[in-house]
């Protein structure tokens, strides 16, 4: 079973024109945190009838777990833990995740709104994303160590967290990490965004020693190298130095995986770097690139949890990313 600590977000996607983007000061292909001036935007999307709105569970870690669940098929093969508000958005997301087979153990923050991401699709398949974290940033360590949730931790064999959680739940991450080391269970973290290794450098330095697997993209890896003063800029060297950082669980050698969009995935394991080519795809067939990295992780997780060879796990991740590139958002077909 895969246990994931996430920022639970509900993606609210619709098609708009340039005038609508201009009205809220948004760029056609961008991602920002919501400001006060975007309150009306959310009100129109959630409560109005002007737009044909599509609601999909979102957030990078949650998407990865949804993809893993889709591959594994067995109901509740994945568990999603995080914080939502006591509102209809949170209820809708929980129902959608349940329909996909994921188990959810979500802390409910009274009086808070569930985190959402407005995804505004415009000409040329551009996407402007406006994220409102709200309750997602309110997760508490006490929820993790409650009897019900901790029993799920103990049942789980694999733990996956996002660096986004360093902002509010570093103690939660280290508690999971301590347990993973004690029981020799696999612990994996996503670097998640280039700025995190600067903004939360101390927290990341605390958590990285727990990591048996580190995944990220090339921008995130190079940003970490700069912020951690590796004094190298060549990506292969960055990967090696990241793998050689101090590690608590000596029974597992660290694996580092770095994606590079259309370039091969770089994987460092057992002192060796291997490149895995991605599946070619024409620009006409690409609908949305935003969830491809999440899908890669999900495909990898599913195979790794089944103890398949590393090369097969990476290949499944590549195939998952290829699949998600051809749909809007992280949209998964429901299994029979």
List active site positions. 294
**Chain centroid, CA 320 distance in Å:** 14
DSSP 8-state symbol, 234:
-
Measured from the Cβ of residue 73, the count of other Cβ atoms closer than 10 Å reads: 11
CA angle 143, 149, 152 (to 5 degrees): 155
> How many whole angstroms separate alpha carbon 91 and alpha carbon 252?
39
Nearest alpha-carbon partner for 54 in 150, 118, 128? 118
Rounded Cα–Cα distance for residues 45 and 24 (Å):
13
C-alpha distance from residue 164 to each of 24, 83, 132, 167 (Å): 26, 13, 14, 6
Neighbours of 2 (CB within 10 A): 25
For the chain, give percent helix, strand, coil, nearest 5: 45, 25, 30
Where in 113-262 does DSSP place strands (E)?
116-122, 126-132, 158-162, 186-190, 213-217, 255-260
Task: Check: CB of residue 82 under 8 Å from CB of residue 7.
Answer: yes
Compute CA 81 distance to the chain's CA centroid, rounded to the nearest angstrom: 13
């Amino acid at each position: 079973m895969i246990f994931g600590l996430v920022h639970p977000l509900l993606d609210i996607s619709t098609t708009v024109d340039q005038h609508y983007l201009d009205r809220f000061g948004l760029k056609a292909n961008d991602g920002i945190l919501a400001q006060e001036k975007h309150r009306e935007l959310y009100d129109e999307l959630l409560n109005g009838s002007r737009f044909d709105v599509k609601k999909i569970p979102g957030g990078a870690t949650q998407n990865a777990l949804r993809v893993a669940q889709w591959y594994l098929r067995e109901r509740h093969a994945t568990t999603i833990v995080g914080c939502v508000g006591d509102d209809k958005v949170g209820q809708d997301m929980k129902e959608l995740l349940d329909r996909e087979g994921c188990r959810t153990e979500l802390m409910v923050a009274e009086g808070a709104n569930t985190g959402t991401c407005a995804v505004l699709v415009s000409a040329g398949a551009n996407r402007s994303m406006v994220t409102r974290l709200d309750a997602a940033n309110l997760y508490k360590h006490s929820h993790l160590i409650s009897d019900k949730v901790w029993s799920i931790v103990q049942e789980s064999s694999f733990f996956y967290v996002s660096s986004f959680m360093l902002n509010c739940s570093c103690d939660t991450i280290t508690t999971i990490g301590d347990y993973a080391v004690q029981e020799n269970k696999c612990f994996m973290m996503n670097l998640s965004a280039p700025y995190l290794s600067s903004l939360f450098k101390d927290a990341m330095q605390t958590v990285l020693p727990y990591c048996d697997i580190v995944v990220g993209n090339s921008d995130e890896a190079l940003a970490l190298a700069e912020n951690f003063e590796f004094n190298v800029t060549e990506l292969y060297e960055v990967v090696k130095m990241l793998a050689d950082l101090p590690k608590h669980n000596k029974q597992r050698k660290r694996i580092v995986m770095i994606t590079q969009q259309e370039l091969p995935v770089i994987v460092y394991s057992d002192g060796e770097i291997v490149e895995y080519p991605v599946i070619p795809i024409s620009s006409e067939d690409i609908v949305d690139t935003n969830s491809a990295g999440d899908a890669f992780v999900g495909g990898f997780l599913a195979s790794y949890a089944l103890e398949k060879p590393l090369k097969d796990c990476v290949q499944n991740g590549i195939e998952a990313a290829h699949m998600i590139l051809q749909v809007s958002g992280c949209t998964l077909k429901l299994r029979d």
